Amino acid sequence: MCLQVAALDEALYRALGPDYELHVVQVDAEEQLYSIEAETVKSSLARAEQRGIFYFLSPQQVKGAFRTKSYLVHDEALFALMERLEEAGLPTVWPHPLHLFKMLAGKVWPPQVCLSAEYHVPLTTCVPRCAVLADPHRAAEEALEALRFLRQAAARPPEVSGTVVKVGFSWKSEGVTLCRETGDLEAALQSAAAAGSHSYFMVQERVEGLCCEAMVYTLGGRIVGHPQYYSFPYHKAPPQYMLRKSAAQALGGAAVQSECEAKMKQITQRWLVWTRAQSSTLVPFLRIDFLLAVDPASKEVKVWTGEVSELGVAVSLQETWLLLRNLVLRLLFV
């Protein structure tokens, strides 16, 4: 978090010179979030012509000692703070306004849009936590039956070759479990139900033939730069970033890569339209993660939406300064 604050400070200084104030609250325990009073924050920023709040914290639904990284805090405490400050007229600049942040970080969107082909989201169903606790085997069977039903509704063969269990408010692969058999799915659902306070878990059809993944960034409603490619040597491994040339080889050549990038651009534009339905205020930044995989039937490379601004739009440290600088220029001081 200190590096992000330093990057924000530098971005402000480059845009404004010394004519700004940056007030920082360092949180050592999530309980401290409840003690931050909206009127105190508002009073400290009273002299500013333009004000905005940056939250360099990410919500999860596992409390206290279960945190795996220092910037992860329980969602109730963080969202309560954001609600207090937004109600006081202090807008959220980073990552998103509260209602949209809940939707994206909580991964509410996959089951809502998976039947709309233009979003290219793998078919997804939600399994209630109570169903898992009551009868995990039956819950797994019902999830598979739901996916078969959805595949038939989408005019696809009903067979499900594999599944992925996902939980909301999770970061990278920490809330993702790959499953092949019904027993795997049952065990994954039981494990998810044993921790946290999630009311449901997502079961998604598994994308087979994965070649690599790619991230597309948008700033001010426009796509910026080229996709950033990466792969994982094994599940839950750190990402290995790839040169575009290496990604082209993995995909089957430059021509295939060009087709994939055109498709990613098209899908990203669709997500930008979606964000305007979720928020009348232009969303300043969005990150879309794509899965690029060879379809087992057609042998063509298919493009799937994997994540949308995953858990606070996590970005690598080398990109943080660029993004914050653009946010400052585009949102606060234009």
Which H or E element spans position 211? strand 210-219
Would residue 324 count as lying in a domain? no
CATH number at residue 178: 3.30.1490.20
Same domain, 200 and 239: no
Task: Please say which residue of 95, 112, 141 terminates a domain.
Answer: 95
How high is the pLDDT of residue 81?
A: 96
Q: Return the residue matching tokens 């082209």.
A: 248
Q: What is the pLDDT along the chain (334 residues), one digit of tens a residue?
A: 577 888 888 888 888 889 889 999 988 888 889 999 999 999 999 988 888 899 988 888 776 544 556 677 788 889 999 999 999 999 998 888 999 999 998 999 999 999 999 999 999 999 999 999 999 999 999 999 999 999 999 989 899 999 999 999 887 777 899 999 999 999 999 999 988 788 999 999 999 999 999 999 888 889 988 999 999 988 888 889 999 999 999 999 999 999 999 999 999 999 999 999 999 988 888 899 999 999 877 889 999 999 998 655 555 555 676 677 777 766 655 4
Same domain, 59 and 90: yes
Q: Distance between CA atoms of 51 and 93, rounded to whole angstroms? A: 9
Same domain, 266 and 192: no
Q: Distance between CA atoms of 43 and 232, rounded to whole angstroms? A: 47
Q: Distance between CA atoms of 139 and 186, rounded to whole angstroms? A: 7
Same domain, 304 and 215: yes
Number of domains in the chain: 3
How high is the pLDDT of residue 117?
A: 94
Would residue 108 count as lying in a domain? no
Task: Please say which residue of 80, 95, 110 terminates a domain.
Answer: 95
Contact 121, 110 (CB under 8 A): yes
Task: Please say which residue of 156, 184, 205 terminates a domain.
Answer: 205
Q: Provide the CB-side half-sphere exposure for 149 (13 A, CA).
A: 8
How high is the pLDDT of residue 310?
A: 65
Would residue 326 count as lying in a domain? no
Would residue 193 count as lying in a domain? yes
* 172: three-class secondary structure by DSSP: coil
What is the pTM assigned to this prediction? 0.89
Same domain, 172 and 232: no
Contact 230, 213 (CB under 8 A): yes
Q: Distance between CA atoms of 220 and 282, rounded to whole angstroms? A: 7
Q: Provide the CB-side half-sphere exposure for 98 (13 A, CA).
A: 17
Would residue 30 count as lying in a domain? yes
Alpha-carbon Rg of the chain, whole angstroms?
Answer: 21
Would residue 136 count as lying in a domain? yes
Domain coverage including residue 272: 208-308
* Helix runs in 194-253, H state only: 244-251
